[in-house]
Amino acid sequence: MSDNQTLAEKVFSELATAIVRGEIRPGERLSEQALVDRYGGSRAPMREAIQKLEARNLVVRVPHAGARVVSLSLEELRDIYEVRLELESMACRLAAERMTDGEVAALQELLLEHARTIEADQGQSYYQKSGNLDFHFRIIEGSKNRRLHQMLCGDLYHIIRMYRYQTSTSSKRPQQALGEHQRIVEAIAARDAELAELLMRRHIQASLTNLEQRMVRESTESGI
């Protein structure tokens, strides 16, 4: 019953979380033999796990040379954020058109809970972690576009989380982000798709500009 999934899948998910959490650093090499020593089994499942990681853009593989954890340049990170900005804005527009009334009500309830949590918690830990993601997840699912969901949650999500720019951005201003979230939900509840898209675009744009500032800071810091 616990052995329902294959060894390759187990190793894949373990490695994926390890990479996202930074326990395996960008640029670090993934030797197949080393994975065998660590997780047991043989090289075949390890190879398969590495290939799955490559499919999600978490590692880069070159023939005969091995696999390394992806190490994104600042330009590549900007590219990813640009795409995410566009796709999530799109998701928000579609969500305004396609979410059921019940889903909208649940979303409003979620924000009320967030508001309570921020008040009690000073908005430190809870909101920026599961709360923020939960909000965005629900919007994406509300788009009722499975491919969009797959691209945002499967392909882009891991990399974005890996670099932590999203969370570190919103940690500065949880109450402001909450206000933006509330206005987005208002637009969705009013079925105003254009406005909902616009507000989401601005909301994520704040993260992007914050990211770009951070990029400049870090590059000058490390460059000197």
Partner DNA sequence: ATACAGAGGATTGTATACAATGTAGTCTTT
Partner DNA sequence: AAAGACTACATTGTATACAATCCTCTGTAT
Q: Binders of DNA among 79-118, rule CB under 7 A?
A: none
User: In the structure encoding, which two tokens stand for residue 85, read together?
Assistant: 């900005």
Cβ atoms of residues 72 and 80 within 8 Å: yes
Q: Is 151 in the site for its own copies (CB under 8 A)?
A: yes
| Residue 24 to residue 14: CA distance in whole angstroms | 11
Q: Binders of DNA among 46-85, rule CB under 7 A?
A: 47-48, 61, 63-67
Q: Which does 80 bind (CB under 5 to 8 A by kind): its own copies, DNA, none?
A: its own copies
Q: Binders of DNA among 14-33, rule CB under 7 A?
A: 29-33
The closest alpha carbon to 205, from 179, 180, 187, belongs to 180
Q: Which does 1 bind (CB under 5 to 8 A by kind): DNA, its own copies, none?
A: none
Q: Is 71 in the site for its own copies (CB under 8 A)?
A: no
CB of 45 to DNA, least distance (A): 4
| Residue 165 to residue 214: CA distance in whole angstroms | 9
| Residue 152 to residue 156: CA distance in whole angstroms | 5
CB of 32 to DNA, least distance (A): 4
Among 23, 86, 109, 218, binds its own copies (CB under 8 A): 86
CB of 82 to its own copies, least distance (A): 6
- With the C-alpha atoms ordered 103, 177, 179, 110, is the resulting torsion angle positive or negative? positive
The closest alpha carbon to 203, from 139, 124, 156, belongs to 139
Among 145, 169, 170, 207, binds its own copies (CB under 8 A): 145
Cβ atoms of residues 19 and 67 within 8 Å: no
Residue nearer to DNA on the CB measure, 7 or 193: 7
Among 28, 38, 44, 112, binds DNA (CB under 7 A): 44
